[in-house]
């Protein structure tokens, strides 16, 4: 007998598209796949060489649950340099990928029946992870006419007594929209006023070209319920190290979830795609 919760999960449309693209290519058809987000070139040699050197030097053992201190300090440096944000290494958790990060957050934050506002269109894994925990995803539409920018008024109207969390994904997957500073600030103030958590998924920050990406955490709105997921993509389908900044209490809870759900990182040698 399988767990009933699995019956609520929809199959991954991202991986289905990826599989269909492979099938068509095997038939000699020239296909551009809009499935899994990965570059069309190989991982640069310097990255592969660095991973090899790490393994050869013995960096293959379990690390601290939150990530090695050097990496957590490097994440703090990145946040200060690129986003103007001040964090300490104790505020940082490094997890083993995008989905793992987000799943840890919903495990730590949601109780059955809690509602999560998800601006739509959205990455397909957000609502499915919420359902897996027994939460209720609530899509909130954005409009093509505004470039799919956040609509703070619609988000405010979607808040109920059961609302616990707002997901903000900018630059956005799948629309490519970079949410405006004004809409992000309005959402931050809404979260403060209504006591909501904000999960800001900023993993496509390096791929913002026409409009400058702004982190919601940098807008000066005092908020102790903000978790930012920031991920670099140096030509790998999904680097296993996913640096995330947490407010203090949440950091402790996610640390427990990571420790019990996945254990510690191995220092190197991880290789797994992260589809949708």
pLDDT tens digits, 83-127: 888 888 988 888 887 788 888 889 989 999 999 999 999 998 999
Q: Which residue has the higher pLDDT, 238 or 158?
A: 158
Q: Which residue has the higher pLDDT, 161 or 256?
A: 161
Question: Is there a domain that residue 152 lies in?
Answer: yes
Question: Is there a domain that residue 222 lies in?
Answer: yes
Question: Is there a domain that residue 268 lies in?
Answer: no
Question: Is there a domain that residue 248 lies in?
Answer: yes
**Long-range contacts for 182-187 (Cβ within 8 Å, ≥24 apart)?**
183/149, 183/150, 183/151, 183/152, 184/150, 184/214, 184/216, 184/219, 185/216, 185/219, 185/221, 186/150, 186/152, 187/150, 187/152, 187/155, 187/216
The range of the structural domain enclosing residue 218 comes to 62-261
pLDDT category, 249, cuts 50, 70, 90?
A: low
pTM for the full predicted model: 0.79
Q: Which residue has the higher pLDDT, 105 or 272?
A: 105
In this predicted structure, the answer to whether residue 267 has a pLDDT above a threshold of 50 is no
pLDDT given for residue 52 in this prediction:
96
Q: Domain with 194 in it: what CATH number?
A: 3.40.640.10
Q: What pLDDT digit, counting tens, does each position of 18-37 carry?
A: 899 999 999 999 988 887 77
Question: Is there a domain that residue 11 lies in?
Answer: no
Question: Is there a domain that residue 68 lies in?
Answer: yes
Question: Is there a domain that residue 127 lies in?
Answer: yes
pLDDT given for residue 32 in this prediction:
85
261, 241, 233, 236: which is closest to 59 by C-alpha?
A: 241
pLDDT category, 56, cuts 50, 70, 90?
A: very high
pLDDT given for residue 234 in this prediction:
36
Q: What is the CA radius of gyration of the chain?
A: 19
Task: Say how far apart CA 103 and CA 15 lie, in whole Å.
Answer: 18
Identify which of 31-40, 167-176, 202-211, 253-262 has the greatest average pLDDT: 167-176
pLDDT given for residue 100 in this prediction:
84
Q: Tell me the three-class secondary structure of 161-178, residue by residue.
A: CCEEEEEEECCCCCCCCC
Question: Is there a domain that residue 255 lies in?
Answer: yes
Domain total in the chain = 1
Comparing 37-41, 84-88, 227-231, the range with the smallest average pLDDT is 227-231
Could you give the percent of the chain with pLDDT greater than 90?
42
pLDDT category, 219, cuts 50, 70, 90?
A: confident
The single residue listed with the structure tokens 């539409």 is 141
């Amino acid at each position: 007998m399988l767990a009933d919760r699995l019956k609520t999960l929809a199959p991954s449309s991202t991986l289905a598209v990826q599989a269909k693209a492979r099938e068509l290519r095997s038939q000699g058809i020239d296909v551009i796949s809009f499935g899994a987000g990965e570059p069309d070139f190989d991982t640069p040699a310097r990255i592969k060489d660095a991973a090899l050197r790490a393994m050869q030097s013995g960096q293959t053992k379990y690390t601290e649950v939150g990530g090695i201190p050097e990496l957590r300090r490097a994440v703090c440096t990145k946040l200060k340099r690129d986003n103007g944000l001040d964090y300490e290494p104790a505020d940082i958790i490094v997890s083993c990928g995008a989905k793992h990060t987000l799943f840890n957050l919903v495990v730590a934050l949601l109780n059955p029946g809690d509602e999560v506002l998800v601006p739509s269109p959205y990455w397909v894994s957000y609502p499915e992870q919420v359902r897996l925990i027994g939460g209720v995803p609530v899509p909130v539409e954005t409009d093509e006419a505004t470039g799919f920018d956040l609509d703070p008024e619609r988000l405010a109207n979607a808040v109920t007594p059961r609302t616990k969390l707002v997901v903000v994904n900018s630059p956005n997957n799948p629309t490519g929209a970079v949410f405006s500073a004004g809409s992000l600030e309005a959402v931050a103030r809404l979260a403060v006023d209504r006591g909501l958590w904000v999960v800001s998924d900023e993993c496509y920050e390096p791929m913002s070209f026409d409009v400058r990406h702004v982190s919601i955490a940098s807008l000066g709105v005092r908020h102790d319920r903000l978790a930012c997921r920031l991920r670099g993509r140096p030509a790998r389908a999904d680097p296993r190290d996913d640096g995330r900044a947490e407010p203090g209490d949440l950091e402790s809870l996610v640390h427990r979830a990571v420790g019990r759900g996945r254990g510690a990182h191995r220092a190197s040698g991880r290789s797994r795609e992260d589809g949708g």
